[in-house]
Structure 1
């Protein structure tokens, strides 16, 4: 340390002054750093140690140390505490590696019932098995100790992050075909290409929404009351009347929705939807159907029906686990957010009627769903 009488002047650049002023006025930074910033600013402005001591209310040794450190190693380093380790770590790197390795396994692999580790569960397992593994220091490890070890490696064994595995070897090809269909529809809707094809082509996205619950009330809903009740009140309990399936398709050119509501979604119900679509279009047109590989779509019964209508339907299959590529999902989402939301009925028949009524209301003001993003690297 330089002597008190020979201590050099602290010269700050404009950038350093601006940084220190901002830090000195901060209400969220560490108190020690705020105090050091004020000391440096005051000393650089020509204040004496005594003046800084009286003005800032900090100890003189702290002021000497702060100024000497800033003069020796720079302003930025002078603001921070010097890292030091008073004694050797009691938990070795090998012990930490053992804990991390445990966290990367599943509890069931060690004979436990849980699927994922909780921090408490992992800490308990570590305490019980650490002595036998040669890490006696971990025999008293708590949750915080285990958490710090895992945090150093950014391991979170109690959380799940989902991903989608491509199980279809032809995923890219099928996605390419679906997107080419959407691009073709978009181009002809915008009039960018003159359609000189001898056979008109109509494109329809088709899928099913199974398991729509017919739930009923156990007590009447109570309407809002001015000054007393701001919203509808509903009894927590409900009655289940069963489920229905919505089989639907949307004309990608006009937004018109074809739909049937059935108790099941077998081949016979799907053929019923195809017949409804068939009756809607001119007899000489080709109907291009975007759909998945559900068993009802490719069953013997469905293929037999398609055989009675040669050159009428053309399938464009979405890849496995690629339902997000089918625009009919946008229709199902709209149904869920509008008339299916909070719906209560007294029977499945009433639910079917209400669903068909909701679809008719959508068809009264149809919306054309378009796929606008074609830059997926395959088109």
Structure 2
């Protein structure tokens, strides 16, 4: 589950920041979202599958044809159990900026602050807004969205990853040959999951992290002490 690599102060700081966001009680006027995006390969059948018979699954030929790649962007509201997604052809700063603009205007137009947990992928920046949106729109998004970055190799800290795992298992575990069909399948999955208001049961806290990773904390403290001693 974890792949934290070499421990650094930045890793611990970002990890605790995200965990603190999760552990805070819900606040009036504040929305907490987790965001991630993932490329999805489009695969089509070479031969038409044979329809299933009673008590049997349909038969598919092992060969398939690649139809390119599209991108799924997903935001998950950890307080309401709602998720919001879009499917795009590319994965660029423009796609990220336009998704965030759509997300805020469509679902949270009156919300003064949105705490957004996301990874530190190069396109996930305030600069993306100014490069691809009107200046006033970019400024409004910069003041509305408060970024909280997961550490490098810390994708396990993002609840949106759990949602993507569910999407892959419940919806995308089949050959889908077009972006249009993938979008239709993903939106249907989103609606069903939202209707049930499925929430992620997150129990890992900063306190548990310090206990679980106490050796890592100790290693970092030891290195810090050694640096201080070498300065004298």
User: For residue 366 of structure 1, what is the aligned residue in structure 2?
Assistant: 197
User: For residue 283 of structure 1, what is the aligned residue in structure 2?
Assistant: 110
Question: What CA distance in whole angstroms lies between the structure 2 residues aligned with 1:244 and 1:217?
Answer: 18
Question: What CA distance in whole angstroms lies between the structure 1 residues aligned with 2:92 and 2:36?
Answer: 12
Question: What CA distance in whole angstroms lies between the structure 2 residues aligned with 1:298 and 1:371?
Answer: 26
Identify which of 37, 53, 59 aligns with 1:225.
Answer: 53
Per mean C-alpha deviation after superposition, the further-off stretch among 317-326 and 164-173 is 164-173
Contact 2:126/2:142 (CA < 8 Å) preserved in 1?
Answer: no
Larger RCO of the pair (alpha carbons < 8 Å, separation 6+): 2
Contact 2:71/2:90 (CA < 8 Å) preserved in 1?
Answer: yes
Query: 1:340 is paired with a residue of what secondary structure?
Result: coil
Question: What CA distance in whole angstroms lies between the structure 1 residues aligned with 2:4 and 2:150?
Answer: 15
Q: Residues 360 and 343 (structure 1 numbering): CA distance in 2 closer, same or farther, change over 3 Å?
A: farther
- Flag as ranges the 4+ runs of structure 1 deviating above 4 A: none
Aligned-pair distance for 1:299? 6.1
Question: What CA distance in whole angstroms lies between the structure 2 residues aligned with 1:231 and 1:329?
Answer: 29
With the length of structure 1 as denominator, give the TM-score of the two structures: 0.50
**Corresponding position: 1:339 with 2:192:** no
**Corresponding position: 1:264 with 2:67:** no
**Corresponding position: 1:239 with 2:65:** yes
**Corresponding position: 1:274 with 2:100:** yes
Aligned-pair distance for 1:168? 5.1
User: For residue 191 of structure 1, what is the aligned residue in structure 2?
Assistant: none
User: For residue 170 of structure 1, what is the aligned residue in structure 2?
Assistant: 10
Contact 2:35/2:117 (CA < 8 Å) preserved in 1?
Answer: yes
**Corresponding position: 1:295 with 2:122:** yes
The RMSD of aligned alpha carbons is: 2.4
Contact 1:247/1:260 (CA < 8 Å) preserved in 2?
Answer: yes
Contact 1:261/1:352 (CA < 8 Å) preserved in 2?
Answer: yes
Aligned-pair distance for 1:332? 0.2
Pairing 1:20-35 to 2, within 5 Å after superposition: none
Query: 1:293 is paired with a residue of what secondary structure?
Result: coil
Question: What CA distance in whole angstroms lies between the structure 2 residues aligned with 1:369 and 1:320?
Answer: 22
Identify which of 344, 347, 356 aligns with 2:187.
Answer: 356
User: For residue 229 of structure 2, what is the aligned residue in structure 1?
Assistant: none
- Which structure's CA Rg is the greater one? 1
The count of aligned residue pairs is 203
Gaps of 5+ in 2: 132-136, 212-232
Question: What CA distance in whole angstroms lies between the structure 2 residues aligned with 1:246 and 1:261?
Answer: 5
Contact 1:166/1:321 (CA < 8 Å) preserved in 2?
Answer: no
Query: 1:165 is paired with a residue of what secondary structure?
Result: coil
Identify which of 183, 198, 210 aligns with 1:377.
Answer: 210
Aligned-pair distance for 1:354? 2.2
Q: Residues 223 and 309 (structure 1 numbering): CA distance in 2 closer, same or farther, change over 3 Å?
A: closer
**Corresponding position: 1:248 with 2:77:** no
With the length of structure 2 as denominator, give the TM-score of the two structures: 0.79
Question: What CA distance in whole angstroms lies between the structure 2 residues aligned with 1:336 and 1:201?
Answer: 29
